[in-house]
Amino acid sequence: MNWEEIYKKIETKLTAECIRNNEKIPYIVKNGVYNNMLEENPSWWTNGFWAGLLWQMYHASKNPLFRENAEQSERVMDQILESFMGLHHDVGFQFLLTSAANYRLTGNEQAKVRALHAATILAGRFNPNGGFIRAWNAKNGNDMTGWVIIDCLMNLPLLHFAESQLHDPRFTQIANCHADTAMRVLQRPDGSCDHIAILNPVTGEVMEKPGGQGYGEGSSWSRGQAWAIYGFALAFAHTGNMAYLDAAKRTAHYFIANVALSGNLSLSDFRAPKDPVYWDMSAAACAACGLLELADIVPEFEKELYYQHAECILEALTSCCDFDPQKDGILQTCTASYGRPEDMHASIIYGDYFYTEAVLRLLKKNFLIW
C-alpha cells in the first residue's frame, strides 16, 4: 500500500475539518458531522485527541493551520484545569496531547505549565497502600476510590514528562508503582487483560473485577488490550524495565492471534458471543501504534514481527476509512463500549488519532507525543 498517498488523503481531509470545526472539540460523528464537546462536556476524557491529531499533522506538514487549531483547542482547555472537579486519571489523554505536545514542538512555556499542573493532579490520585492511581471520581452514588483500569497505562507518560522537566523522581515512582499493579491485577497469564479491578483502597486487596466496557466479567475488551500493548511498551521506553516490555509482548501476541481470525480487524470484545457482531476499529488502530512502538524498541531480530503485523492491521483498517473531505471522521466502525448504541459503529476522534499516528509512524513523520 502507498502510505504516502494515504497521508495526502488524511492531510486533505483534516485541512477541510479544521476549517469546518475550528470552534469545536470533536468527539463523535453523527450524520457526517462532528459534535462539540466544548458545549456538551468540557471535561470529557477524549478532549485532547483533536489537538493531538493536529499537532501530529503540524509536525509532519508544517502547515500553520494545524498549529493554530491545536493552540485554540488547548486554550479552551484552561477552564478544565480551573474547574478541577471534573478531572480524573485521564488528564494524561487531555494534556499530553495538547499542552505537552505544544511545549515539545514550540517551546511554549505556558503550555508546559499546563502539562505540569495536570501531572500534579494525576500524581495526587495515587493510592500508596494499593500502589495505584485511582480511576474515575464517584459516579451515580458509587464509591470508586479503589478502582483501577487498564486505560490508565496510557496516562502515565504525563508523569514521565513531569519528571523530565522537574527532575523529581516521585513522578516516575508513581508511574512505575501503577504499572506494576496493572501487571499484577489486570493482566492475565495468557496476555489478555481485565478492564477494571476494584481494590480495597486501604489494603490494596483485589475485591472484584467487573466487565467494564467489555461484554462482561472475564471477557476481553479489545481496546483495553490495545491500551495494554501501547501502555506497557511506553512504560518500557521510559524506564528500561524489561518486565514492562515482556508484558507488552504478551498482550501484543494475544491481540495479533485474535485479529488474525477476523481479517486483522478488531471485534469490540474478543470473548463476546459470536452473535451479534460488534466491531471496534479504534482498538486495532491503537494496537498498531503499540506494535510499531515495540518494533522500535525490541532487538533487531524481533522488529519485523511487530512491524509487519502493524502494517497488516493498518492495511485492513484503511478499507474502513472515509477520506471524503466533505464529511467529518476518517476511521469508521469504532465502538466506545460494547453494545452501547449511542457510540457504537461510529467515527470517533481517538480512532482517527491512532490511525493517523500509525500512518505517520510508517512514514517516519510522527513525533512521540507520549
> Residue 71 is placed in which grid cell?
493552540
Backbone angles phi, psi at 278, to 5 degrees: -120, 135
* 143 is annotated as an active-site residue: no
Distance CA 365, CA 362 (A): 8
* 78 is annotated as an active-site residue: no
Residue 195: closest CA among 161, 171, 240, 231: 231
The partner residues of 348 in beta bridges, in order of sequence, read 28
Residue 345: closest CA among 271, 277, 258: 277
Cα dist from 253 to 22, 225, 259, 312, whole Å: 40, 10, 10, 14
Distance CA 344, CA 140 (A): 23
Q: How many CB atoms lie within 10 A of CB 304?
A: 11
Distance CA 50, CA 134 (A): 25
Which residue among 151, 280, 328, 352 is the active-site one? Answer: 151
Q: How far is CA 35 from the centre of its chain?
A: 20
Which residue among 78, 90, 168, 343 is the active-site one? Answer: 90
Q: How far is CA 120 from the centre of its chain?
A: 20
The partner residues of 196 in beta bridges, in order of sequence, read 149
Q: Which residues are catalytic?
A: 90, 151
